[in-house]
Amino acid sequence: MRDIRFISIADTIEILDYYEVEGSSPRVVKIIAAGGVGYANRVYVNGLGTEAFTILSNTALLLTLPDDAQSVALGELEFSVSSSMLTSRKGRTSLSFGTTKHISSVAGIEKLIQQVVKDLLSDVSSNRFSLSDGGGLVSSLGSVAFTPSAANKIASSIQASISNTQTSIQNNQVGQKLPADEKLLSLEMSSIDFNESTGTASAGIRLVSYAGVDFTIPLAL
């Protein structure tokens, strides 16, 4: 059975160039990419997502800058474009939440990824119909400062949430007739990095399905 897609893990489209459209008001930026723009579902401006864009071709789109960026010099803006497609497990990927321009259903490994992320970020026992659900990652890290000195505490919290998520999903899958690529075999933390200047961290979570599909889920914390 297919689920409605509300979490997307997909390619990050390679940007080749961008420039401001002269005389546009509000300000509009044209973004040129290597390809895949036809599947673009969100553009990020300095890390903030927006869907105020128009696709011109498979290699170009027009982006209306968000209100907060209208007065910012172009040289101080950074852009990235996420796709609604996942074509490679080796290239850069992005994880996004919520509805997008391309609302669709999801199955297979992408359905399993969505289930893992949803459970991982949900509070423990937040599902009244299944009190064992919820990895509790967000609540466990809520009061932790993201610094290298807190690395062990953060890593332990992430690992505990991953273990809770694996147990919850595997228990829920017992007795279900699922395709092998939708059934969780293992889940583990593969990496964690800290950025002292921004006070943030990023982690990689390695998921393996019974079909043998190995995928690393990127999380920005």
Q: Are residues 80 and 161 in the same domain?
A: no
Q: Are residues 142 and 92 in the same domain?
A: no
- Give residue-wise pLDDT tens across range 155-204: 888 888 899 899 989 988 898 889 999 999 999 998 888 777 666 777 88
Which CATH number belongs to the domain containing residue 8 in this structure? 2.60.40
Note the pLDDT of residue 1: 59
Q: Could you write out the three-class secondary structure of 28-62?
A: EEEEEECCCHHHEEEEEECCEEECCEEEEECCEEE
**How many other CB atoms sit within 10 Å of the CB of residue 176?**
8
Q: Looking at the domain assignment, is residue 199 inside a domain?
A: yes
Q: Looking at the domain assignment, is residue 16 inside a domain?
A: yes
Q: Are residues 46 and 134 in the same domain?
A: no
Q: Are residues 25 and 90 in the same domain?
A: yes
Which CATH number belongs to the domain containing residue 174 in this structure? 3.10.450
The last residue of one of the domains, among 97, 132, 162, is: 97
Scored b (16 or more CB within 10 A) or e, 21-48 reads eeeeeebbbebebeebbbbbbbbbbeee
Using a 10 angstrom Cβ sphere, with 0-12 exposed, 13-18 middle and 19 or more buried, the burial of residue 139 is middle
The last residue of one of the domains, among 97, 126, 145, is: 97
Q: The domain containing residue 159 runs over which residues?
A: 107-220
Note the pLDDT of residue 219: 79
Those residues whose C-beta lies under 8 Å from the C-beta of residue 92, and which sit 6 or more positions away, are 11, 12
For the entire predicted model, the pTM comes to 0.59
Q: Are residues 68 and 168 in the same domain?
A: no
Q: Are residues 82 and 137 in the same domain?
A: no
The last residue of one of the domains, among 71, 97, 123, is: 97
